[in-house]
Amino acid sequence: MKIEHSENFVIVKKDTNQLENFIISLETKINNQLRDKNMIIDLLDFSELTSDLLKLFLKLIVICQKSNNSFVIVNNHINLNEVSDEMMVVPTIQEAKDIVEMEIIERELGM
């Protein structure tokens, strides 16, 4: 996986065809090196993403929410109407960055 650090978030890009292996590796990183980071998960190259596969991210989403951090998945191949309300999925990296920034402001304001 490729990790790009920014001041307010990290962008993690999947570099394997095995989504399950990527999620396992990501969970280890979140529990260690990426703890307390806002996460943007770049799955733009993953055209086979389905709502069922997205459910594999639920544990990671809960981990981030418990530490009061954002978790945004970027993919433009999935029908966003099929995505659970528990997840934030957007079609572009810029939109993911904007959402993280808005959530940071909301947390600072106590919303």
88: phi then psi, degrees, rounded to nearest 5: -110, 110
Answer for the pair 9, 70: CB distance below 8 angstroms, yes or no.
Answer: yes
Tens of pLDDT, residues 67-90: 999 999 999 999 888 888 889 999
The secondary structure of residue 65, as a DSSP letter, is H
Q: Which domain holds residue 79?
A: 2-108
How many angstroms separate the CA atoms of 30 and 42, rounded? 15
- How are beta strands 10-13 and 2-5 bridged, if at all? antiparallel
Tens of pLDDT, residues 11-70: 999 887 788 999 999 998 888 888 889 999 999 998 888 888 899 999 999 999 899 999
Predicted local distance difference test score (pLDDT) of residue 111 = 73
Predicted local distance difference test score (pLDDT) of residue 104 = 95
State the total domains in the chain.
1
Q: What is the CATH number of the domain that holds 19?
A: 3.30.750.24
